[in-house]
Amino acid sequence: SEPGDMPYLERLILLLTFCLPLSSCLFKGREGKEKKLNYFIEWDTTSLLRVVEEGVYPRSCRLKDGSLLLVYENGRGDVFVTRSEDEGVSWSDPVVAYAKFEYVDSNSTTSTLVNCANPEIVQLSNGDVLLACNLRPVTEGVYPFSIALKRSSDNGNTWSDETIVYQAASFFRDGCWEPSFLRLPDNSLHLYFANESPYSDSDEQEISMLISTDNGYTWSVNPVTVSFRRGHRDGMPVAVHDGTFIYVVVEDNLSGQFKPYIIKGTVNTPWSEAVMDGLPHRYSALRNPLPDTVYAGAPYLLRTYEGVYVLSYQTTEGRSSDWKRSTMEVVVSDTPREFGAPSRPFDVPLAREAKWNSLVDLGDNRVAAISSSNLDGKKVGIWMIKGKIKSR
């Protein structure tokens, strides 16, 4: 080396001191990518249980006291609630939370029966439980299709009178459907639903959202458009968040048959712009695309306590082309995209069904799949089975 320069050996040591940690990080990065966890679910057939003899559209959540609360339609216009204190092994006698009712228009004296459908529940930070419901008039042109809420301050034992938070048109083609909740880190609350009301001149449908900042006592008057694909029908939204981003799974009929798609937004500025077709924040959820002719609708999305993403839908793949005979399929991923390792929790004969499914997180990488099914050849009832998330 020249006089005054750092000796060669010292320069070499300094260079190695700097580069070795960097190369180690790069190696770890490559190693992490190569060893990316590939999750799958192992279903415990011994846990299979018929929870309710007759019912459809089950939804469940774990309450702060450790119990499981489950809501469902009885198939005749009423919504029931049942509870388990032992991890879903046994359940209480169901009680009515919403009852169908007769509505009479005082101006015209016309009337209609109004059914209660699509129940969904969430527990708030203060312990209150909110139960959303879709009110559906039987006779068109009399009563508006609506989203209603009830509140329980005693873990679902008793319920308040209903509050209407959104009304669409009174005709089926312009209705609103399938409410679902999302509680954000600041305890604000989103209520997502499928909405045909803005498109009275077409068969299109969007995903809309209302927001509450006071534990669901008051809600925004005008819904925000979350997503819309021109000429198509985004439907059945279910949202999760990771603290930074919101991920809403929807059924999207771009291919002709519904498929699960993810709509991505931010927690800090939720849906400042609607996610339209062709944008990168709308993408297919599945790692391996299903054929266009396969139906895979009614999605449900879960992010577990451990940060694993679990997605379900009802599908006709490998079955008949009749969507009414579809069955529940579940896929899993370590990120909210490229879901894979499909499994079918319930063994359903081709002539039967397992539909309007949902998932509930049981903790410790355990989940439960819940379905309305006639897999045993009897009436369509509510079934549950538990599974363990594993990696290979």
Q: Are strands 309-315 and 327-333 parallel, antiparallel or unpaired?
A: antiparallel
pLDDT tens column, 137-196: 999 999 999 999 999 999 999 999 999 999 999 999 999 999 999 999 999 999 999 999
pLDDT for the residue numbered 3:
38
pLDDT tens column, 350-362: 999 999 999 999 9
pLDDT for the residue numbered 36:
62
Q: Which residues of 207-225 are buried (b: 16+ CB within 10 A; e: fewer)?
A: bbbbbbeebbeebeeebbb
Q: Which long-range contacts (CB under 8 A, 24 or more apart) does 286-293 make?
A: 286/259, 286/260, 286/331, 286/338, 286/339, 286/340, 287/331, 287/333, 287/338, 287/339, 287/340, 288/340, 289/259, 290/259, 290/315, 290/317, 291/317, 292/255, 292/256, 292/257, 293/256, 293/257, 293/321
pLDDT for the residue numbered 109:
85
Distances (CA, A) of 48 to 92, 101, 295, 333: 17, 35, 26, 24
> Which runs of E-coded beta strand occur in 198-292?
206-212, 224-228, 235-241, 245-252, 259-266, 275-276, 282-284
* pTM (predicted TM-score): 0.90
Tell me the two tokens of residue 291.
Answer: 């054929």
Residue bearing tokens 């903790």: 363
Tell me the two tokens of residue 238.
Answer: 């279910």
As a whole number of angstroms, the distance between CA 339 and CA 243 comes to: 20
pLDDT for the residue numbered 33:
42
3-state helix, strand, coil in the chain (%, to 5): 10, 50, 45
As a whole number of angstroms, the distance between CA 117 and CA 356 comes to: 12
pLDDT for the residue numbered 32:
37
As a whole number of angstroms, the distance between CA 274 and CA 63 comes to: 33
Q: What angle do CA 68, 301, 87 make, to 5 degrees?
A: 20
pLDDT for the residue numbered 108:
84
As a whole number of angstroms, the distance between CA 221 and CA 206 comes to: 17
pLDDT for the residue numbered 37:
78
Q: In tens digits, what is the pLDDT along the chain, a chain of 392 residues?
A: 433 444 444 444 444 444 434 333 333 333 334 446 799 999 999 999 999 999 999 999 999 999 999 999 999 999 999 999 999 999 999 999 999 999 999 888 899 999 999 999 999 999 999 999 999 999 999 999 999 999 999 999 999 999 999 999 999 999 999 999 999 999 999 999 999 999 999 999 999 999 999 999 999 999 999 999 999 999 999 999 999 999 999 999 999 999 999 999 999 999 999 999 888 999 999 999 999 999 999 999 999 999 999 999 999 999 999 999 999 999 999 999 999 999 999 999 999 999 999 999 999 999 999 999 999 999 999 999 999 999 98
pLDDT for the residue numbered 226:
98
CB neighbour list of residue 113: distance below 8 Å, 6 or more residues apart? 77, 100, 101, 102, 103, 137, 138, 139
pLDDT for the residue numbered 19:
41
Q: Are 76 and 98 in contact (CB under 8 A)?
A: no
